Structure 1
Amino acid sequence: MAASSRPSDTEGGSQTLERGLAVLVELGAGPRGLTTAEVAAACGLHRSITHRLLVSLTRSGFAVRDAEGRFTVGPAALDLAERAGRGLPRLRDVAEPVLHRLAVEIDATASLVEVVGDAAVTTLVAEPPTHGPRFSYRLGNRDPLDRGAGGLAALASGPERAGEPARVAAVRETGHITTCAELNPGAYAVAAPLPGWPVRAAVNVVASHEEVLSTALEPVLRAAREITAALS
């Protein structure tokens, strides 16, 4: 008697992958966000299986979860779709060499901040080559969106949305923001939004000396213009 094939191995396919893609498609049809239970019902999956798939999609950036537990399509999926449709470069690939040059020029830590769900997430970090005390951001660091230069500037890179902090409108108008000790004592920050990309993002610089607010402003704006110019 021939052994029957498991569903996950039928015709060389992967049932888990197919389920994950079905969940991702369902998230794309619900721009206001879906709960685990709603996704499970829509896809005809057990809730525990749906939960594991959503966790994997969130870890890889293909889904994001807000404070209320609702899931939406994440920046990785949006980035992939945008590049496939328009032949765009990948934001982090474009930003990396620009941020390294910026860190060297101003002798301070530069980073790329992206909005992921309800947080400002550091997705690239460039350290200056010199030694000495400095503020450094860990890759994957998460900060609130309602304070701190990076998160506010990243929000300003996209159109106005309901519930955003009042200061974001001013950042859109000026094209930059400076802050002092909003997230860390003694930290001075300068950030500029990166409009036009499929994810909300910003160039962010943090230092321990107040002079950075003036000396780094033009280099940060120049870096933001260079990254944005890659879209053309």
Structure 2
Amino acid sequence: MNAFDPQDADAERASDSAFPAAAAARPTPPVPQKRDLIAGLEKGLSVIAAFDQDRPRLTMSEVAALCGLTRAAARRYLITLEHLGFVTSDRKMYALTPKVLRLGQSYMHSARLPRIVQPELHKLAYALKEASSAGVLDGADVICIAATSAGRVVSSTLQPGTRVPAYCTANGRVLLSALPQGEVDAWIAGQNLAPLTPNTITHGERLRIEIARARAQGYAAVDQELELGLRTISVPLKSYRGEVLAAMNISVHAARVSMDQLVNDCLPALLQAQASLRTVL
């Protein structure tokens, strides 16, 4: 699956003119003046973001190195965050507290997108008896903003707030396919395409073709590239103006559902949900 087939380039060339007009023409946010930015807030948030699943506990020196801070500055940020209740310390090791969840809850409770998408995911998942989720692109990753399992637990990544690499997931490829080709090329060039499973596409040109394929056909299907046993199919969620806001998928276990079954049985329902959501997004 990782081998690069030059014939697949036909799919890429055929889709070069198929960029969504709204995505290509989407307004670019104005670049703020440096004097308008609060450097302390930016650095404080970077300290929080330094903690993750692989680094749940950090020393002051590690925080300084990860965030590009002096040790003295890292100390002040950690002391402040601890005073506010977002960080706890024990024997020179620091960790986040559950209070950090309030930051994510503020988004989940106030943002319109998850509240609109969640009911449709429930309908979709229970109709198909398979897990469903929606996500948005954030740098190299896709962040899950809504999900439901419908009683099928196929992956621990299918829950709100989790992050997965965009290059080897169906939601990721759908979201990348909405970008202009120049942005896609730059994005691929900046990625470490690690082989998470024997099926993971790690060849940059092959990935570029798969993203072009998703753009041309309007969906992406991924076979056990993120996790062995996990197959996923995804479609973009568009606003009424045609702008891609998120991606929505169905995830199944490979032992139960073949790739052909995944496309034939799940894609029509996904497209129906996509059309329903487009009227309200």
TM class by shorter-chain length?
0.5 to 0.7
Supply the AA of the counterpart residue of 2:164.
D
Gaps of 5+ in 2: 1-28, 50-66, 68-106, 188-206
Other-structure match for 2:247: 202
Tell me, what secondary structure is at the counterpart of 2:238? Answer: coil
Other-structure match for 1:172: 215
Supply the AA of the counterpart residue of 2:237.
L
Tell me, what secondary structure is at the counterpart of 1:114? Answer: strand
Which of 44, 48, 52 is equivalent to 2:44? 52
Q: What is the CA deviation profile of residues 179-232 of structure 1, one whole-angstrom value per residue up to 9, with x for unaligned ones? A: 11010101111100123376641111111032333211111111112112224x
The 2-side partners of 1:44 and 1:224 are apart by 38
CA contact (8 A) 1:112 1:201 kept: yes
Which of 182, 189, 192 is equivalent to 2:225? 182
Other-structure match for 1:134: 154
Other-structure match for 1:110: 132
Instruction: Give 1:87-98 correspondences, 5 Å limit.
Output: 90-98=112-120
Gaps of 5+ in 1: 1-27, 32-38, 58-68, 70-79, 81-88
Supply the AA of the counterpart residue of 1:92.
P
Tell me: higher relative CO, structure 1 or 2? Use CA pairs within 8 A at least 6 residues apart. Answer: 2
Q: TM-score, normalised by structure 2?
A: 0.51
Q: What is the CA deviation profile of residues 132-161 of structure 1, one whole-angstrom value per residue up to 9, with x for unaligned ones? A: 653451221111121211111122345444
Q: What is the CA deviation profile of residues 6-52 of structure 1, one whole-angstrom value per residue up to 9, with x for unaligned ones? A: xxxxxxxxxxxxxxxxxxxxxx5438xxxxxxx8x53475x545412
Other-structure match for 1:156: 177
Q: What is the CA deviation profile of residues 51-81 of structure 1, one whole-angstrom value per residue up to 9, with x for unaligned ones? A: 1256689xxxxxxxxxxx8xxxxxxxxxx9x
Tell me, what secondary structure is at the counterpart of 1:155? Answer: helix
The 1-side partners of 2:36 and 2:48 are apart by 16
Supply the AA of the counterpart residue of 2:174.
A
User: Structure 2 vs 1, CA of residues 50 and 140 (structure 1 numbering), >3 Å: closer, same or farther?
Assistant: closer
Q: TM-score, normalised by structure 1?
A: 0.60
Other-structure match for 1:30: 31
Supply the AA of the counterpart residue of 2:115.
D
CA contact (8 A) 2:133 2:159 kept: no
User: Structure 2 vs 1, CA of residues 158 and 96 (structure 1 numbering), >3 Å: closer, same or farther?
Assistant: farther
Instruction: Give 1:60-79 correspondences, 5 Å limit.
Output: none
Which of 183, 186, 191 is equivalent to 2:234? 191
User: Structure 2 vs 1, CA of residues 97 and 50 (structure 1 numbering), >3 Å: closer, same or farther?
Assistant: closer
CA contact (8 A) 1:194 1:227 kept: yes
User: Structure 2 vs 1, CA of residues 217 and 44 (structure 1 numbering), >3 Å: closer, same or farther?
Assistant: closer
CA contact (8 A) 1:109 1:126 kept: yes
The 1-side partners of 2:164 and 2:43 are apart by 25
User: What number of residue pairs does the alignment pair up?
Assistant: 169
Other-structure match for 1:227: 277
Tell me, what secondary structure is at the counterpart of 1:113? Answer: strand
